Amino acid sequence: MIEHPAVHQPFAHLESLGYRATYVGVSRRGRVDPGEVAAAIGPDTRLISVMMANNEVGTVQPIAEIARIARERGILFHVDAVQAVGKVPVDVHALGVDLLTFTAHKLHGPKGCGALYVRDGVTLEPLVRGGKQEHGLRGGTENAAGIVGFGKAAEVARRDFAANTAHLLALREAVLQLRDRLPRVILNGDAEHCLPHLLNLCFVDIDGLDIQANLSLRGICISVASACASGALTPSYVLKAMGISDTAAWASVRFSLGRGNTLDQVETVVEQTAEIVEDLRWTTSPEDIGECDENCPCLWEPERKLGTDADDSDRADPVADRVS
């Protein structure tokens, strides 16, 4: 239910053609239960697709476990690893996946250049016919400059992986200081299974758009959802799929960090965010935001930081089966 539109929309198109798609729910931490994936498999299931890491809350999924389930059932398994490659270890052989997609610009490479790993023995229909390029799967002259830039970006990401990871984790911990600086700040996501550079925080009683706008005026860019959902006038579907209420979803913002960011910059972000949130809480009435309900994260675990050692028994929606 939390897949990127790059997966959701093709599946919706297949449904319009008469195929059946089953959508598996996630826990309140945004994590998929491999057991629910196994339970969702039917006799006519041909493909499973699960993102390795979510682009809004940063939760990393149990890909190797799901891959074993798919392999035992003889089903192809695709992984969207766009957010993961370069940020967490990704070994297609150790994971046991059949297909894996990633892209250059998430590695600080050029935009407009992506890659698809295809396991030996997996046969695909051509995406674009009319040429022998890319093993006949995508006809047309290759973007040579983009490919070279992609390769160099991957080389640098692998070379500096340990240093970059340590740096990003330090920045992430600095942002998390907001939970100590301010009351009613909740982490949306999984504190253990997470990307080092991305986190989503709920500032209870504050409209996330107000935080975003005020930070923007100070030269700081954050988001209220993913870039691919910008302009949407509805709460984040990712947070909703995690069982979070509309009110809490609107109060949530995403911080995305890069290897070029410094600790001084992030400390400035923390100071400015804390100041803005305190000001907004003085000047905003709860009626302007909406009332919390049983699906607000602060009510799940009061006085505790979300995502430390809670179990996943309080899952959000179970398997949701939609038939075209």
In 3D space, the residue among 186, 227, 221, 230 whose CA is nearest the CA of residue 206 turns out to be 186
Residue with token string 């991957």: 154
For 289, the token pair is: 């935001």
Strands across the sheet containing 252-256: 185-188, 198-203, 252-256
Contact (Cβ atoms closer than 8 angstroms) between residue 323 and residue 4: no
- Does the annotation count 296 as an active-site position? no
Neighbouring CB atoms inside 10 A of 187's CB total 23
Q: How far apart are CA 230 and CA 245, in angstroms?
A: 19
- Catalytic residue among 228, 292, 296, 298, which? 228
Within 13 Å and on the Cβ side, how many CA atoms surround 112? 6
H or E stretch covering 164 = helix 161-175
DSSP class per residue in 71-108: HHHT-EEEEE-TTTBTTB---HHHHT-SEEEEESGGGT
Contact (Cβ atoms closer than 8 angstroms) between residue 107 and residue 153: yes
Q: Which residues of 197-210 are buried (b: 16+ CB within 10 A; e: fewer)?
A: bbbbbbbbbbbbeb
**Catalytic positions, please?**
228
